[in-house]
Chains A and B, each alone.
Chain A
Amino acid sequence: MILIWLILILIGSGLLAWLAGRWNDTLPRVICLIATLTQFAIVIALWFNANLDAEGLWLVEYTHTWIPSYGIQIKLALDGLSLLLILLTSFLGVLAILASWKEIKKKVGFFHFNLMFILAGITGVFLSIDLFLFYFSWELMLLPMFFLIGIWGHEDKTYAAIKFFLFTQASGLLMFLSILGLYFIHGNNTGIYTFDYEQLLGTSLSAPMGFLLMLGFFIAFVVKLSTVPFHSWLPDAHTQAPTAGSVILAGLLLKTGAYGLIRFVLPLFPQASHQFALLAMVLGVISILYGAKLAFAQTDLKRLVAYISVSHMGFILVGIYAFTEMAMQGVVMQMVVHGISTGALFIIVGALYDRIQTRDIGQMGGLWTSVPKMGFMALLFVMASLGLPGLGNFVAEMLILFGTFPGHMLLTGIAAIGLVAATVYSLRVMQKVFYGQEHKRRKISDFDFREMMVLGALMTAIIWLGIFPSPVLNLSKTAVQNTIEKVNARPTTVDVSNIQAIENISTSTGDGKKEVPNSLVSKQE
């Protein structure tokens, strides 16, 4: 029950904020702040009460009928991974509201309505384990994001908003076809037509079919993850979005792609994932290097940060397809720390834009003297994103590289170049913006109390995760192990695990259809 409230609180406060926005500009902010703080508190409480060693996949579950004639339920469940991501969602949600406190001046009510609906959609994505509900939430978060970019964005907002929407919607529909395909194949095999994730897990698929269905999911997720060559919506959307939009885009929306890969693609299609792993990793490595190169070449500060995201998301893709526990833990860590560090960078850039009305790096320079606090924060988070030891990103990237190295030495080696490139572009930001010649004298104010509070919270988090990452790693450990177990339980050679897999499938299909073992046998040749 508590899980559905996590979503309902956001939806309810969103509607309330819209109404309140008719009379007052501050009221919507307060309402949404209270709502996100409540959500944050609930998630923290869930964390402390979670029994991580418990049996079973889920810590908390909630099921309610929705459209029974099509086997659709409102089924939410929480495990370590989703708990961590919900925690990140509510944390960044609070900060996004605080960060846009002064930036958004028109249609405040509608702005917060959209913000809350995005957060509700994201929460839904992280919690749903009914594939229909998952897709429903997946689509739900697009629409308000479209409005957020399209109404409150910068100069090229319409183009960016439509591009974002079309990219994600098109890829989402492909995923939906895959979901339907899976639904019918499972239905034909067992006679039970359901969108329930747990039941679909054991579906036996012929190799080409499994590969096609996997591809549908994969495309939807890597578009969100903004892997090269599907990344082109991201720089536009990030650049044009208002600060809160960029924070949520980078911090949360990209993570839904990674989450989808871990939660759905690997466990549902273990065999196809193994076939596809090399290509996916190559794409990841290309993203790392290409993102880094383009980040270096940007003159628009916000666009630069956007390309940093592309580069960092490449690490996630590489880590996921390494199929080792260590790399996967690194991926989870990277999801969290990237959300924090890039979110912080977007907040800083947004604050800077508010003060000097430009994002052009050429117009900046020597800002440290006038805004030392901002300079310090920028330095910290730039260091974090280049992977300085002691900060969270270091832990994440090292885990990913260590976890990937044994299986793929060459790829890991090339990916590691990305770290060097990160140093180059990160230092360029500091050099051009905060050090060097003052471009022109400006009278700008430094961070005020509210902004210091926002960035202080982010700073605490990133340092904490850098020095003491084990709470996060412990939390996600079981979930990660489950995923790795499922994806590695594929029948490669005739051994015990293979027989076990066949047994599993036969028991899950009830009467143990004859073609199931046959198809498995044929694949071993």
Chain B
Amino acid sequence: MNLSALDIVSLLPMMILAGGILVMLLLVAVKRNHGLAFASTVIVLLASFIAILFMKQDRPQAPGGLFLFDGFAFYYQALILLSAIVVSIFSYISIQKFFHEKRKEEYYLILLLATLGASMMVSCTHFISFFVSLEILTISLYSLISYYREQSTAIEAGLKYLIMAAVSSSFLLFGMALIYTTTGAMDFRSFAEIALDLNMAPMVMTVAGVGMMIVGIGFKLGLVPFHMWIPDIYQGASSPISAFVATVSKGAMLAILLRFFAMADLYRFDEIMMVITVIAILSMLVGNLLALRQQNIKRMLAYSSIAHFGYLLMAVLAGKAMGIEVATFYITVYILAILIAFGLITLISGSNTEASDIESYKGLIWRKPLTATLFTIALFSLAGIPLTAGFMAKFFLLDTGVGNAQWLLAFTLVVGSVIGLFYYLRVIVMMMKPNEKSVLDGSISSVATFTGILAITILGILIVWLGIYPNWVIHLIRSLQ
């Protein structure tokens, strides 16, 4: 396998991440300091992001046939890195508030490792690289989820995730093995070419293999009926890590799903399309219905994420350039909103418990107008109300759905959004209720809080801006293909 200079350059963002991890390891050995570890994490992530900015103009590179570095991969990598930066800001606040033990620095190491795994994953075009990067991401997540080890819920969540992820990985591996048996290929594209000429029996096996892989991917994306772990993990993990699972991990998974579908051209397998349609409809309905009665905001967001990924499948089903474009826009908008939501949960939490109970938001709009307004914007964006980006995203989704004559899916989406509206409104109504005695108020260094508020303010402005004028992101996403 020969690597050209250009191939190596295209690997640069990930090499920066990997190098940064090594430097951090040494740094922790030399001097333990929470602030320092945090600062170097942000610097590494930023450096990697800047490297991507310079990468954009290059031609697509495919080093070793394992990865494909094109505009699509770079866009998702940039998204992952930016989310990771926001997550690390809130991690700093969260660790200061809730984690009173000494070993704070390793957290950032694992976070960087997980980010590396995710950004590798979005550029994969081969089963091997897919599986390796997925495992890097997943194994890092086990420890991140249970990092606050003195809390039993965190340990429980970590263990659950460990078992679930292991099961789903084995499904994924088995699916890959089945496909390899019949086609002898492990990269997405040649699998597609070979699968065209298969006879009946190997064909069944291939379809079964793809089905197994969908089970595995469905687990990771938290789609019905593989969704059971999502609420427990979201609730048990600290808010920044929940945000990380919701944005980075799921976003990367969505990217690989889109790429797998497009490159392997799975659209010609009617059975698979059927299965995905059923999964999408179930996810929209079940996610929204279960979210209705939640008293815990993190659980509510977890169930709503199930529904949102159900919506996203509609774009995946639509396929081709249009579907990929819409799915990418939707996930971008979703990431913005979910980062705000989890960031705010971290920000307004007291020093012992996270403000995950819906009651802690009572009268927030009168106590902290700015924070509450931003939260409202995020929730409205998730609900798809005009003037927020969520509305535009939902419009594009419905547009592809109706354009592809997926009336049933479009109709389910409408029903789902109406149900969804109810529980988002519940939180907003709670924030509007008369101001009672201040329930919780965080108290940590004001610089960190200020940075956190600044970060979500920027995200909030982005949401409103995209809600009024989405053109530039659409152009950006279109130019990727």
Contacts and interface: CB of A to CB of B under 8 A. Distances in A.
Contacts of A169: 417-418, 421
Contacts of B478: 69
Nearest to A70: B399
A170 B418 contact: yes
A107 B395 CA distance: 33
B380 interface: yes
Given A176-B398, A184-B402, A139 B386 contact: yes
Contacts of A143: 380, 385-387
Given A69-B471, A143-B385, A165-B421, A173 B414 contact: yes
Interface string B367-392: 00000000000001000011100010
Given A69-B474, A162-B425, A177-B411, A139 B385 contact: yes
A161 B387 contact: no
A51 to B, nearest CB: 34
A146 B411 CA distance: 25
Contacts of B421: 165-166, 169
B422 A136 contact: no
Given A166-B421, A169-B418, A139 B432 contact: no
A140 B387 contact: yes
Contacts, number: 67
A150 B432 contact: yes
Given A67-B470, A169-B418, A162 B385 contact: no
Contacts of A140: 386-387
B46 to A, nearest CB: 32
Contacts of B418: 166, 169-170, 173
B204 interface: no
A174 B396 CA distance: 16
Interface in A138-176: 139-140, 143, 146-147, 150-151, 158, 161-162, 165-166, 169-170, 173-174, 176
A50 interface: no
B410 interface: yes
Interface string B262-291: 000000000000000000000000000000
Contact of B417 (A66, A70, A173, A181): A173
Contacts of A132: 395
A7 B475 CA distance: 28
Interface residues of A, number: 30
Nearest to A147: B432
Interface in B446-475: 469-471, 474-475
Contacts of B426: 162
Given A140-B386, A169-B421, A173-B417, A184 B432 contact: no
A477 B396 CA distance: 39
Contacts of A107: 366
Contacts of B396: 70
Contact of A67 (B391, B414, B471): B471
B425 A67 contact: no
A177 B386 contact: no
Nearest to B396: A70
Nearest to A72: B395
B403 A158 contact: no
Contacts of B366: 107
A165 B425 contact: yes
Contacts of B414: 170, 173-174, 176-177
A181 B398 CA distance: 10
B429 interface: yes
Given A139-B391, A143-B385, A180 B399 contact: yes
Interface string B418-446: 10011001100100100000000000000
A311 B478 CA distance: 52
B398 A166 contact: no
A358 to B, nearest CB: 22
A130 to B, nearest CB: 13
Contacts of B422: 162, 166
A177 B432 contact: no
Contacts of B398: 176-177, 180
Interface string A104-146: 0001000000000000000000000000100010011001001
A107 B366 CA distance: 9
A74 to B, nearest CB: 11
Contacts of A162: 422, 425-426, 429
A165 B424 CA distance: 12
A500 B425 CA distance: 51
Nearest to A180: B402
Interface in A176-193: 176-177, 180-181, 183-184
Given A67-B474, A170-B418, A158 B386 contact: no
A173 B413 CA distance: 10
Interface string A425-460: 000000000000000000000000000000000000
Nearest to B475: A69
Contacts of A180: 398-399, 402-403, 410
Contacts of B411: 177
A183 B399 CA distance: 9
A177 B429 contact: no
A18 B473 CA distance: 30
Contacts of B474: 67, 69
Interface in B242-260: none
Interface of B: 366, 380, 385-387, 391, 395-396, 398-399, 402-403, 410-411, 414, 417-418, 421-422, 425-426, 429, 432, 469-471, 474-475, 478
9 contacts: A67-B474, A132-B395, A136-B391, A140-B387, A169-B417, A176-B395, A177-B398, A180-B399, A180-B402
Given A68-B471, A162-B422, 6 more contacts: A69-B478, A70-B396, A143-B380, A176-B395, A177-B410, A180-B399
Interface of A: 66-70, 107, 132, 136, 139-140, 143, 146-147, 150-151, 158, 161-162, 165-166, 169-170, 173-174, 176-177, 180-181, 183-184
